[in-house]
A and B are shown apart, each in its own frame.
Chain A
Amino acid sequence: GAGVSQSPRYKVAKRGQDVALRCDPISGHVSLFWYQQALGQGPEFLTYFQNEAQLDKSGLPSDRFFAERPEGSVSTLKIQRTQQEDSAVYLCASSGLQETQYFGPGTRLLVL
């Protein structure tokens, strides 16, 4: 009965480093979403998977952001050559088809 888990919970990166953020969705959930939450703001959509297919990546802010879900379960959000403006909390959510999204605790990324 575990919920959505994310790792690491906190990440400090030097500007220019690559980072990888992991999301373990609720078992059996078909849909997986990534959101970015800047300080003092609401979450903003990044990308959406249905099983292993990435159906919507319209929210990815630049080509430095890349997400994958190769086996339709665990997902990884990768940010290449991190910039200070990438500092935010990255939230993952999973759901059944057209069902409630359940959110993980987030990964807080700080780029120095």
Chain B
Amino acid sequence: AQSVTQLDSQVPVFEEAPVELRCNYSSSVSVYLFWYVQYPNQGLQLLLKYLSGSTLVKGINGFEAEFNKSQTSFHLRKPSVHISDTAEYFCAVSDRNFGNEKLTFGTGTRLTIIP
């Protein structure tokens, strides 16, 4: 079984300040890792994903995340946030095994940008 923990339910950040959204996971098997963003009344949009290779992954809208296997973490970062980054952010994992591709999500972090 897999689980994802997002410790921060809400994160307020001033505009143009840096931000880090934390994600830790547990799994008995190797996993793929994802960050999705959800704007109000919209579906989920993929920000970035880690499948293999370099542990630093760059995504859309200036976001990046670093996979740390020893700490089982996949924290999301952005050096300078904008008002438009206000949204809910979800970390997710999926099993690497073929045929078992369902995503297990964390409870989400609401990012609020303060002008």
Tell yes or no: B70 within 8 A of A by CB.
no
Is the CB–CB distance between A103 and B43 below 8 Å?
A: yes
Closest residue on chain A to residue B105 by CB atoms: A42
* Residues of chain B within 8 A of A45, CB atoms compared: 102-104
Q: What is the CA–CA distance of A42 and B98 in the complex, to the nearest angstrom?
A: 24
The answer to whether B43 touches A95, judged by C-beta atoms less than 8 angstroms apart, is no
- Please name all residues of chain B whose beta carbon is closer than 8 Å to the beta carbon of A20 when the two chains form the complex: none
**Size class of A's contact patch?**
20 to 34
Q: Please report the total number of B residues contacting A with Cβ < 8 Å.
A: 23
* CB of B42 within 8 Å of the partner chain: yes
The chain B residue with its CB closest to the CB of A92 is B43
The answer to whether A55 and B99 have CB atoms under 8 Å apart is yes
Provide the A56-92 mask, 1 if CB < 8 A to any CB of B, else 0: 1001000000000000000000000000000000010
Q: When each residue 18-42 of chain A gets 1 if its CB lies under 8 Å from chain B and 0 otherwise, what string results?
A: 0000000000000101010000111
Check A4 for interface membership: any CB of B closer than 8 A: yes
